[in-house]
Structure 1
Amino acid sequence: MRTLFLFVFALSLLVIQTAQASTPKDILVMAFNIDEIISLDPAGIFEFASAEYAANAYDRLINYNVDNVSAIYPGIAESWEISDDGLTYTFKIRNGVSFASGNKLSADDVVFSLRRVVLLDKSPAFILTQFGFTPENVKKTITKVDDYTVKIIVDQAYAPSFFLYCLTSTAGSVVDKKEVMAHEKDGDLGHGWLKTGYAGSGPYTLRTWKASEIIILDANKNYWGDAPQLKRVIIRHIVGSASQRMLLEKGDVDMARNLTADDLKSLESNKDIKIQKRAKGRIYYLGLNQKNKYLKIPEVRQALKYLIDYKGMEQSILRGKATLHQAFLPEGFLGALEETPFSLDIEKAKALLKKAGFENGFTVNMDTRSAEPVTSMALSIQSTFAKAGIKVEIIPGDGKQTLTKYRARRHDIYIGDWGPDYMDPHTNADTFARNPDNSNDAKFKPLAWRNAWDIPEMTRKTDAAVLERDTAKRAQMYLDLQREHQRVSPFVVMFQDIEVVAERANVKNFILGPSFDSNFYQYTTK
């Protein structure tokens, strides 16, 4: 296997190098920081880059229009019905779909895929288990009616869009039951194999993945929908913005995905390169661990919110790549709060710190991924915190290192980003404003849990909002929740992302959606 990989990798690089000024016409080559990818199993995927991979390699039960997210349309499920009591969803599965393996897709695969997410209980499992599915009841609540009909019973009458949007997420991906179970070991439902393997029916199939090096995808020749326009997509792991820019300018790559504001500016006069932008649901924030003796104090948390140069970073580090935003729901979501009450105010921060008994400051660590823009953001925050006597020790690491530490609640301050798992407002409320169990061995581990924030009352308010079926009332509930969250939470929400992709002029129809798992290669041409 290693010999095969080295051959494929060397061959792909040879093709790129031989072309010199341009890449092959039927191959898309992109420079992209993909070091955060831990697993390729849709039941375990929970990072931006891997979710984008899944969106292009797997089919989901249903989808939404990237230009009008309120419009949900069929995927593997060609139609659905909801019972009058709001508890039972019946899906008709599309007939005539085959997996890349050649196996026919049926209700068995859909039931297996959804149950598998619950049974494996990896990071994205909460997207489904929040509807009452458990390993004990999943055989009764997610069932096959016939070869092309699936019935799903939820535990409460939620706002219908909430459940449907969850099925548009990576957790709603359909895997090939026969192929996966052929690789099962010790009852793992094929997870060990699928972490690096492939069992999908999407427009592209996995050819090669080498962690922190490369992903190669091939067009699925038997895809049931619109055929992919390019025969191959090569994603090269390139960390540095300057390196990505130079490869793009030389024509060694067709797209650069992680350019800084400065590198983007330097490309403005290059007629061979164009810039594509799309506002995303991703937000940048600080997570303040409430296990830390300083950060658990309310006045300290509030002081830190006045020690960030929001406007300065927006106009320099993030120029054109993010916009000021200080609430956990991104703009564009139902009930999103657009108020921005915090600005850099050193004296106000000092007064709050003095009230807390820390007028001379203190020392904390900040974990940050070694990638832009968070590296530069961390340096800016380190500088402004110092003006109030707070010394920040920056601890850099790659995506896997920082996320592993953060998920274990071993950080002081974590600087990172968060993107919605689906397009309903509960997606962010559930993780920023809900923590049903703050114990170390809790089953559910949202961002509030990661930061050890025990919030039973706010959790109740979040639970009530997701059950409200009156849209106007529900929107107001989220506005109220965000205002309270701004005042008291251990989260410093700073910016909403604008994804920027620099492309060679001949690249057409690379689709940027509003979320990290709605970027699509299927219609891209050169």
Structure 2
Amino acid sequence: MKKKIIALLLASAMALSMAACGSKAPASSASGTGSAAAGQKAAAPDQDLVIGFNLDISTLDPHQVADTLSMSVQSTMYEPLVTFDENQKIVPALAESWKAESDNLTYTFKLRKGVKFHDGTEFNAAAFKANYDRCMKDQKLRQYRTVSKWQSVETPDDYTVVVKLKEPNCAFINKMTMFEIVSPKALAQGTAYLAKNPDGTGAYQFKERVEGDHVTVTPFAGYWNGKPAVNSITFKAVPEDGARVAMLQTGEADYIYPMPSTQAPTVDGKKDIKVVTSPSAIMRYVTLNTNLPQLKDKRVRQAMNYAIDKKAYIKTIFNGYASEVHSCYPSTVQYYSEQTPYDFNLEKAKSLMKEAGYENGFELTIWGDNTTNEMKGMQFVEQQLAQIGIKVKVTPMEPNTLSSMISVEPD
């Protein structure tokens, strides 16, 4: 069994969601649920949409996914019972309706009828129960953390699911937007099969994956919520910023994300390219492993926060296309509440380090993706923390490698 790294955050900045697209391509990436993808009104001129991302996906298993990109790709093929709309309101997906009992422990979902998995089998209550059972039996799956808080799942009929919680959880419905349903037929083939053969109910079905390069999906003819907008979507991994922009300029890509902030002003409006910015739920931060003895001390963690010049970070790394964070959560999510920020104060940081007995500092290692912007960000943190004696070793990794190292085996 794996153990979680106990962690706190070193807050930094919230990046604006900044993408670029050709004038005839969609202004969004079809990265929401299948129904959102199907509702797009615009399409690439050749009906084959190519999206350039800065990363490759980490997995095709929706019960194991943790990163935003993989979730976006999988959401073209898989669906949950409920989902978020563009206004962050929870709306029906595979469930037509739901209600919570007065005990705040029991939730009843009425499922949508006539929904098929890509393999042709029927979506029903038994399919939901099979997904729950799979996640409960395998503690290595990330969705185990969600279902382990449930007392039971009952299926009184083919289209009713009753979930009972161990204790009240105000985030339960929100968490259900992340619990995507896999065909029981595919589940029966095992984890290794599922990692390479997605089988959901989404608007698009899996065509191929070339690891490290791309994933391609095509429309599912039996989709319950209308015809998808394009004939195919290819999610292409292009880690180098310049290469990603070049793909857009030559027409090889219809859409890229993220748009390198340093190049945004020079390409916007050129050759039918439009750069689009909007408030984002993406935050940039450093996760602090408090299993390490020096990071157990609250004063050290506070010192590290005070030592980071967030305004300089925003200017240096994002060319101004970001804002400071004032909470552990982005301002775009439900129930956001602003907290007192750690304003840059180097003298206070040094004082706290001395008070904690670390006036001469110590050594740390920082892990991160090997993308252009992430490496720049880690180097910035390295330079900032050096001012209070903390020597940081920057260790960039392939995203899949990084994901596998976030949790560690017990000592």
TM-score normalised by length of structure 2: 0.83
Give the partner amino acid of 2:75: A
User: Does the alignment pair 1:126 with 2:164?
Assistant: no
Root mean square deviation, CA, Å: 2.2
Aligned partner of 1:101: which letter?
A: D
**Which residues in structure 2 correspond to 1:412-427 (within 5 Å)?**
none
**What is the match of residue 258 of structure 1?**
258
Equivalence for 2:35: none
**1:220 aligns to what?**
220
Aligned partner of 1:165 in structure 2 is 174
Corresponding residue to 1:73 among 91, 97, 101: 91
Q: Does 1:292 align with 2:292?
A: yes
For residue 178 of structure 1, report the CA deviation from its aligned partner: 2.6
Give the unaligned 5+ runs of structure 1.
Answer: 1-21, 134-140, 184-189, 410-439, 442-526
Q: Which residue of 166, 173, 197 corresponds with 1:155?
A: 166
Aligned partner of residue 102 in structure 1, secondary structure: coil
Shift of 1:248: 0.4
Contact 1:23 1:253 in 2 (8 A): no
Q: Structure 1 counterpart of 2:121, which letter?
A: N
Q: Conserved in 1, the CA contact under 8 Å of 2:369 and 2:399?
A: yes
1:172-224 per-position Cα deviation (integer Å, ceiling 9, x unaligned): x122113432x2xxxxxx22210111211100111011221110101111111
Q: Matched residues in 1 for 2:44 and 2:225: separation? A: 27
Q: What amino acid is aligned across from residue 366 of structure 1 in structure 2?
A: I
Note the C-alpha offset of 1:33. 2.7
Cα 1:269/1:308, change in 2 over 3 Å:
same
| 3-state DSSP of counterpart to 1:403 | helix
1:323 maps to which residue? 323
Is the 8 Å Cα contact of residues 327 and 341 (structure 2) preserved in structure 1? no
- Partner Cα distance (1:180, 1:215) in 2: 21
In structure 2, how many angstroms separate the alpha carbons of the residues matched to 1:114 and 1:277? 38
Amino acid aligned to 2:49:
L
User: What is the aligned partner in structure 2 of residue 48 from structure 1?
Assistant: 68
Does residue 34 in structure 1 map to residue 55 in structure 2? yes
1:480-495, aligned counterparts within 5 Å? none
160, 178, 202: which one aligns with 2:185: 178
SS of residue in 2 equivalent to 1:207: strand
Tell me if structure 1 keeps the 8 A contact 2:262–2:318: no
Matches within 5 A, 1:294-309: 294-309=294-309
How much has 1:41 moved relative to structure 2? 1.5
Match of 2:199 in 1: 199
Which has the larger share of helix?
A: 1
Distance in 1 (alpha carbons) for counterparts of 2:233 and 2:335: 38
Q: Match of 1:331, as an amino acid?
A: S
Q: Distance in 2 between matches of 1:296 and 1:164?
A: 33
1:80 positional shift = 2.2
The CA deviation string for residues 267-289 of structure 1, in whole angstroms up to 9 with x for no partner, is 12415111223323232211222
Identity of aligned residues (%): 26
Structure 2 residue aligned with 1:107? 125
- What SS does the corresponding residue of 1:329 show, helix, strand or coil? coil
Q: How many residues align?
A: 368
Q: Which residue of 2 aligns with 1:146?
A: 157
Question: Measured at CA, do residues 370 and 179 of structure 1 come closer, stay the same or move farther in structure 2, by a change above 3 Å?
Answer: closer
CA distance 1:202–1:368, change in 2 (3 Å) = same
Residues 307 and 381, structure 1, Cα contact 8 Å, conserved in 2: no
Cα separation, 2, equivalents of 1:79 and 1:291: 43
Match for residue 106 of structure 2 among 80, 85, 88 = 88
Q: Aligned pair in 2 of structure 1 residues 156, 364: CA closer, same or farther (>3 Å)?
A: closer
Partner Cα separation in structure 2 for residue 341 and residue 38 of structure 1: 33
Give, in whole Å, the separation in 1 of the partners of 2:61 and 2:334. 30
Structure-2 change in CA distance of 1:56 and 1:241 (3 Å): same
The change in CA–CA distance for 1:278 and 1:55 in structure 2 (over 3 A counts) is farther
SS in 1 for 2:209: strand
Paired residue for 1:280?
A: 280
Report the Cα distance in structure 1 between the residues aligned to 2:121 and 2:167, rounded to whole angstroms: 35
The corresponding residue for 2:390 is: 390
Alpha carbons 1:260, 1:372 under 8 Å: kept: no
User: What stretches of structure 2 of length at least 5 have no aligned partner?
Assistant: 1-42
Match among 111, 118, 135 for residue 117 of structure 1: 135
| Cα gap change, 1:367 to 1:180, in 2 (>3 Å) | closer
Please report the TM-score for the alignment, with normalisation by the length of structure 1: 0.66
Shift in CA distance, 350/211, structure 1 to aligned 2, threshold 3 Å:
same
Given that 1:329 and 1:335 are in contact with CA atoms closer than 8 Å, whether structure 2 keeps it comes out as no
1:227 deviates by 1.3
